[in-house]
Amino acid sequence: MSAVVLESTLTCPRCEHARSETMPSDACQFFYECEACKELLRPLPGDCCVFCSYGSVKCPPVQAQSSCCG
């Protein structure tokens, strides 16, 4: 068993501002607003949440290898 990481650093694809965020352990976050440029980030095609697309660590359900959002 491996520990699930709940801290992920989200990097904005527009302005490259990075911010460390704590992920919910049992849910996905679909939208994330960059605090620097106010860009509303959404997951890339094939990804279930913004952490999988832009974060340094994938979301907890993916880390646990369970299906996340279907």
Q: Rounded to whole angstroms, how far apart are CA atoms 22 and 47?
A: 18
- List strand residue ranges (DSSP E) for 2-70, in order: 7-11, 18-22, 32-33, 40-41
Beta strands 18-22 and 40-41 are unpaired
The answer to whether 14 contacts Zn ion (rule: CB under 5 A) is yes
The answer to whether 34 contacts Zn ion (rule: CB under 5 A) is yes
Least distance from Zn ion to the Cβ atom of residue 66, Å = 30
Candidate segments 6-14, 21-29, 45-53, 62-70, binder of Zn ion by CB under 5 A = 6-14
The answer to whether 39 contacts Zn ion (rule: CB under 5 A) is yes
The answer to whether 37 contacts Zn ion (rule: CB under 5 A) is yes
